[in-house]
Structure 1
Amino acid sequence: MNERAGTPALPEDLIDVDELISAYYNQEPVEPVVFGTSGHRGSALDGAFNEGHIAAITAAIIEYRAELGYDGELYIGRDTHALSEPAQRTAVEVFAAAGVNIRIDARNRYTPTPALSLAVLRANGAGTEAGVRVEGPGLADGVVITPSHNPPRDGGFKYNPPHGGPADSDATTKIAARANELLKDWRSIPRMPYEEARVAKTTGTHDFLSAYVDDLENVIDVEAIRKAGVKIGADPMGGAAVDYWAAIAERYGLDLTVVNPEVDPTWRFMTLDWDGKIRMDCSSPYSMASLLKRMEGDAPYDIATGNDADADRHGIVTRDGGLMNPNHYLAVAINYLFEHREGWGANTAIGKTLVSSSLIDLVASGIGRDLIEVPVGFKYFVPGLLDGSVGFGGEESAGASFLRFDGTVWTTDKDGILLCLLAAEITAVTGKTPSQLHADLVAKYGSSAYARIDAPASKDQKAKLKNLSPEDVTATELAGEEITNKLVNAPGNNEPIGGLKVTTENAWFAARPSGTEDVYKIYAESFQGPEHLAQVQEAAKDVVDRALSS
């Protein structure tokens, strides 16, 4: 923990924007293209997110979509990171030279990830009797230029195919491999000068904001929020949601204040995260320290919310409970939605990642709904959200989405704005805050202690962890309890979890290698309190270390 965690950023904490953009254009790529769970990320200062990377990735996407016959509009959105605009310019130049029909924001502003997902789905038939098409001619897809909650020095580039959600591993592996081939001679990739590309006949615009805001009434009970007079303080945290929150307040007549409408690529108004870095993590009490302070004492809002830079994550702050643990809020949201969405089918299931709290399992059982447990990655929820068989898909990292009132798809990517508005709806309809409703769930199902820690691991160890088998774990007990299961595949879809999950009657842990650092992550939970959780964590490290050294 950095000693300055939660304190305001100082001038020495800020990036030099001119230096960063200069590095984007002038520094040759050093690192390869690597697609993680949320696209390619890196910094131009490290030779990991430079003009060459974006030109090569864009060219690889052009080949990929041509191979699969995707010849409709390609929607492009960007967030507020300093590298996002130059990356968009590069992508537009390459797409235009290839004659791809691209659509950029009509206001030349910022586009939240869920707004782009919605645009792709609508273009492919969402909301019609025929439903969403993912095969055939004229299919649309999209690109989101964002590193999500990463520090200001980073950039990110993510591809969303016609289903509107994150591309699966088959697609990203293929795109990355081809991009790395093209990267060797990236200057030969055909491009059109930006000013010409902007007015090319294949370049058009899309009003992402109006399309998203006007459609919200079909997924959130905004009238209940308005009638109840719920006071909302929405903090975009300098991200892409900034214009959207103001538009939502005006469109639906809500008592909603945009807490900080400032956009600054240095994020000078932020408080530092746990490690002393500026990071737009709306689930971190350190990054959210300013908003939390506003909610102390006689708070001006009933509900305060935060979003990361591309608004695919949510942070929920209540007067009585402070910043909610994402797992706690997911359990409350699920319990509420399945009691208040009559248009969802009786067989509509709940989706969760296998590192999310077991409280969700208990809630699912209590309301008589099937639970689908998948590996980490929102892409695993896409099929169920698309056909309506999954009503809610959520991750422990504060990312989720759910269906419209009529049981059809809303977005197939995470929607932080939606989950923030849901907190206001819950308050309006139940008369209780999400924190109070979580207390009700704890009274019914029991209290758990949950945490994630990181432990050092070499590249070889990370590779071994990713490919463990249940037989590699020789332990029979975990923190005094008999081990009941050892999983390397998710029970919900049998997909590899890229690590290991071990369960007992009252606890569990999961270990996964980091995709960006030389560490592995240990997620753990105990229904026997914080002391037992600490024992589980220590036992987990021992189990994993023995498996890695065998």
Structure 2
Amino acid sequence: MSDRAGTPATPEDLIDVEALVRAYYEKHPDASVPEQRVVFGTSGHRGSAFDTAFNDDHIAAITQAIVEYRRGQGTTGPLFIGADTHALSEPAQTTALEVLVANGIDVLVDEYDDFVPTPAVSHAIIKYNKEHPGEPQADGIVVTPSHNPPRDGGFKYNPPHGGPADSDATSWIANRANDLIANGLREVNRAEPSGVATYDFRGNYVDDLKHIIDVDAIRRAGIRIGADPLGGASAHYWALIGETYGLDLTVVNPLIDPQWGFMTLDWDGKIRMDPSSPSAMASVLKHKDDFAVLTGNDADADRHGIVTPDGGLMNPNHYLAVAIDYLYAHRPDWRADAAVGKTLVSSSVIDRVADSLGRRLWEVPVGFKWFVPGLVDGSVAFGGEESAGASFLRLDGTAWTTDKDGILLALLASEITAVTGKSPSQLYRGLTERFGDPVYQRVDAAASKEQKAKLGKLDGDAITADELAGEKITAKLSKAPGNDAAIGGLKVVTENAWFAARPSGTEDVYKIYAESFLGEDHLRQVQSEAKSIVDAAIA
């Protein structure tokens, strides 16, 4: 933790926006330098123009690669594109439009030249394809690095299913983009973007919310709601939600600032728009007593933060458990066999909630893309990640978004409060009385690139230990139980605890996620032994 965590940003913390945009155009990547290559993580390509990791050349090459990929997949319908409030998002969207138009793609941009949240793009894709069966399918691009610092840019591709592209797609796109850069972009088509069609992302998304959230219950209960977009793309969406449905809703801070000078610093002293971080949300928390429900979103609104007067900022795992317990009891038209989806580093309290509901648990690797098939066919009604990202089905059991939707999860907190008469934090305390009160933490441990590579390919059988923190090990997993997909690391489980270890994609560390139902001291023991177990396996 930085000693400045949770304190207001100072002028010295702010980026030079003009210099950042200049670097976007003036710096040119060398495809032979690993740090300058196109690399798709769990949520697209990210980097900073200052580091020659997110520049005009990258975006032109990625977009051309997407054009070629979608053509190869037979995707010939319109392409929806939206961008968040990061300084690099607007120039990156302009670059992408130049390439899309030059390649003859029917592209749709926001009707009001507004910022567009990730869930609004996913919603648009699904809505279009549902309304045009048998016709060429639509797909989309979201220009966002999510909650990353202001110096970063990000670029994501969403195929016709509306969710994040899978590894096969992103690997192909990244490899082709790097080849294009190495070849001097000679095969990239560009033209002045003119006559581009528009789409009302905001109006279509907001008008459809009544088919997934009980907005009437919220209005009748008179719930006083505060929504802080944290300077992100959801700002105008929240204003329209309140107006459309007659809710007592205040946009706490509608300011859009590409420097994010109004933010408090995150745990490491950086500006980061993470609504699940107490440090990043410190200024929001000052208003916790002013509203029955106070929420935050990140820059592209795919993450949520829930603040209650009695509990402050909720741990994301705690809120996911409450949301699951509530939804499966209040959505009678969902399939009776629809599973509960969670990533394997999410809290085991969710396992216990799912069991109490008589629902199958569908545990998948890290990355929201794994939930897409289940959300599309209704076999998974809710998919959630410990990093405060989730989505769920409409009231009728059909797909809403197949990407994370922070606006939806934030608005659900008001429905829960209105219908139950209790805050989500009060409801979580009730869950702990039934299922136990786990403690959870993620820490980092040093590892070389070679060790990270070994961890990413580790087989559970390579672990020789049979006990963890005094308990018998019941599972050693290198594949997710829900879909048998490789987890890119390891998970070890006992009756009352577990840990998972995964290599970082950006730093020379591996991440240890751990949880115990036996208290803080036991968690520390789990973490210590986890490090010893993993270090021995990757030595």
For the criterion TM > 0.5, the same-fold answer is: yes
Report the TM-score range of the alignment, normalised by the length of the smaller protein. Answer: over 0.9
Work out which of the residue numbers 228, 231, 237 in structure 1 matches 2:224. 231
Asked if 1:27 is matched to 2:27, the reply is yes
Work out which of the residue numbers 119, 123, 126 in structure 1 matches 2:124. 119
After superposition, what is the alpha-carbon deviation per residue over 1:330-370, rounded to whole angstroms, capped at 9, x for unaligned? Answer: 00000000000011111111100010000000000001111
Pairing 1:282-301 to 2, within 5 Å after superposition: 282-295=275-288, 299-301=289-291
Pairing 1:65-80 to 2, within 5 Å after superposition: 65-80=70-85
Pairing 1:377-526 to 2, within 5 Å after superposition: 377-526=367-516
Q: Cα offset for 1:418?
A: 0.2
Asked if 1:139 is matched to 2:105, the reply is no
Q: Cα offset for 1:185?
A: 3.0
Aligned to 1:174: 172
Cα 1:301–1:451 shift into 2, 3 Å: same
Q: Secondary structure at the match of 2:290?
A: coil
Q: Cα offset for 1:456?
A: 1.1
CA distance in 2, matches of 1:345, 1:487: 29
Aligned to 1:205: 198
Work out which of the residue numbers 228, 235, 240 in structure 2 matches 1:242. 235
CA distance in 2, matches of 1:193, 1:60: 16
Aligned to 2:12: 12
Per the normalisation by structure 1, the TM-score is 0.96
* Matched letter for residue 103 of structure 2: A
Gaps of 5+ in 1: none
Q: Are 2:61 and 2:185, in contact at CA under 8 Å, matched by a contact in 1?
A: no
Q: Cα offset for 1:190?
A: 4.2
Q: Cα offset for 1:410?
A: 0.5
Q: Cα offset for 1:475?
A: 1.1
Work out which of the residue numbers 78, 88, 92 in structure 2 matches 1:87. 92
Q: Are 2:304 and 2:407, in contact at CA under 8 Å, matched by a contact in 1?
A: yes
Pairing 1:104-115 to 2, within 5 Å after superposition: 104-115=109-120
Q: Are 2:213 and 2:415, in contact at CA under 8 Å, matched by a contact in 1?
A: yes
Cα 1:186–1:61 shift into 2, 3 Å: farther
Q: Cα offset for 1:477?
A: 1.0
Aligned to 1:154: 152
Asked if 1:259 is matched to 2:248, the reply is no
CA distance in 1, matches of 2:246, 2:446: 50
Aligned to 2:318: 328
Q: Are 1:283 and 1:326, in contact at CA under 8 Å, matched by a contact in 2?
A: yes
Q: Are 2:99 and 2:191, in contact at CA under 8 Å, matched by a contact in 1?
A: no
CA distance in 2, matches of 1:469, 1:331: 30
- Aligned-pair RMSD on alpha carbons? 1.0
CA distance in 1, matches of 2:421, 2:515: 30
Q: Are 2:265 and 2:271, in contact at CA under 8 Å, matched by a contact in 1?
A: yes
Asked if 1:529 is matched to 2:526, the reply is no
* Matched letter for residue 408 of structure 2: L
Aligned to 2:33: none
Q: Are 2:60 and 2:188, in contact at CA under 8 Å, matched by a contact in 1?
A: no
Aligned to 1:64: 69
CA distance in 2, matches of 1:289, 1:114: 25
Pairing 1:332-347 to 2, within 5 Å after superposition: 332-347=322-337
Q: Are 2:64 and 2:189, in contact at CA under 8 Å, matched by a contact in 1?
A: no
Q: Are 1:98 and 1:190, in contact at CA under 8 Å, matched by a contact in 2?
A: no
Q: Cα offset for 1:472?
A: 1.6
CA distance in 2, matches of 1:488, 1:319: 41
Aligned-residue sequence identity (percent) comes to 66
Work out which of the residue numbers 45, 48, 66 in structure 2 matches 1:43. 48
Q: Secondary structure at the match of 1:264?
A: coil
Q: Are 2:381 and 2:392, in contact at CA under 8 Å, matched by a contact in 1?
A: yes
* Matched letter for residue 158 of structure 1: K
Aligned to 2:163: 165
Work out which of the residue numbers 182, 185, 196 in structure 2 matches 1:184. 182
Count of aligned positions: 534
Q: Secondary structure at the match of 1:512?
A: strand
Per the normalisation by structure 2, the TM-score is 0.98
Cα 1:472–1:206 shift into 2, 3 Å: same
CA distance in 2, matches of 1:102, 1:4: 44
* Matched letter for residue 25 of structure 1: Y
Q: Secondary structure at the match of 1:424?
A: helix
Q: Are 1:71 and 1:137, in contact at CA under 8 Å, matched by a contact in 2?
A: no
After superposition, what is the alpha-carbon deviation per residue over 1:276-302, rounded to whole angstroms, capped at 9, x for unaligned? Answer: 00000000000000011121xxx2100
Q: Secondary structure at the match of 1:182?
A: helix
Q: Are 2:101 and 2:191, in contact at CA under 8 Å, matched by a contact in 1?
A: no
Q: Cα offset for 1:454?
A: 0.8
After superposition, what is the alpha-carbon deviation per residue over 1:247-268, rounded to whole angstroms, capped at 9, x for unaligned? Answer: 0000001000000000000000
CA distance in 2, matches of 1:421, 1:294: 17
Q: Cα offset for 1:189?
A: 4.1
CA distance in 2, matches of 1:424, 1:309: 21
Aligned to 2:347: 357
Q: Cα offset for 1:187?
A: 4.0
CA distance in 2, matches of 1:473, 1:107: 56
After superposition, what is the alpha-carbon deviation per residue over 1:79-130, rounded to whole angstroms, capped at 9, x for unaligned? Answer: 00000000000000001000000001111110000000010011111xx6xx
Q: Are 1:165 and 1:412, in contact at CA under 8 Å, matched by a contact in 2?
A: yes
* Matched letter for residue 10 of structure 1: T
* Matched letter for residue 151 of structure 2: R
Q: Cα offset for 1:518?
A: 1.3
CA distance in 2, matches of 1:513, 1:420: 30
CA distance in 1, matches of 2:148, 2:191: 30
Q: Are 1:69 and 1:137, in contact at CA under 8 Å, matched by a contact in 2?
A: no
Q: Cα offset for 1:39?
A: 0.3
